[in-house]
Amino acid sequence: MALRSLLAKDWVLQVDTAYPSDAPDWATVRGLTQMSESLDSNDEDDADFDGDGWGSTVITQRTWSLECEGRRKRDDSMSTFTPDPGQEFIRQAGRKLGFGADVHIRWFRRDGAPDAYEGMASVALGGSGGATTDLEPFNFTLNGQGAPEEISNPADDEPAGDETPGS
């Protein structure tokens, strides 16, 4: 049996546009060209005399974040400017302070892999603009608030051919 690599493009990021209500309303954040999850650990020295000269460490804390890059999108079928709902919710949260900058998110694979997570994160919005030939960027970092929860993959609940699970 040959092993095949998973494609990075099969990740989906969704934001709960109804937060903080109890009934989530998931909107896919469109236009992403890159999404990277990072997990950082805080290690503390746990060595003692009984280790016979060998050291040891204990992980005392972990943090997570999602770094996202993409292009700002709009609904071209509308006569007035109508931004992508997922992008707009992230953009608005990225301009607030304190708890207003927190969003309820989930991210998962849409290729049959079981990877699926949900959590709270604060939004650190990137810049905008560029040269005359550039497309408008949409860059942001989601900094985790507490542990992400492993969930059942929402893509498994959608009918075949649906490209935007949960929206």
Interval 25-84: pLDDT, tens: 999 999 999 999 999 999 999 999 988 889 999 999 999 999 999 998 888 777 788 889
Q: Is residue 59 part of a domain?
A: yes
Whether 66 is covered by a domain: the verdict is: yes
In a domain, 123, yes or no: yes
Would 114 be classed as within a structural domain? yes
Token couple for 144: 């985790």
With respect to residue 3, please indicate whether it lies within any of the assigned structural domains.
Answer: no
Cα Rg of the chain, angstroms: 19
Q: Is 80 part of any domain?
A: yes
| Span 5-30, pLDDT tens digits | 999 999 999 999 999 888 999 999 99
Cα separation, 116 vs 153, whole angstroms: 5
Give a yes or no: residue 158 inside a domain: no
What per-residue string of b and e applies to 132-166 under the rule 16 or more CB within 10 Å gives b? Answer: eeeeebbbbbbbbbeebeeeebbbeeeeeeeeebb
Pairing outcome for strands 32-45 and 140-150: unpaired
CATH of the domain at 111: 4.10.410
pLDDT in tens, 134-158: 788 899 999 999 999 999 999 988 6
Does 165 reside within a domain? no
pTM above 0.75, yes or no: yes
The rounded distance, in Å, linking the Cα atoms of 39 and 162 is: 30
Range of the domain at 16: 8-44+55-151
How many structural domains are present in the chain? Answer: 1
Grade residue 106 by pLDDT with cuts at 50, 70 and 90: very high
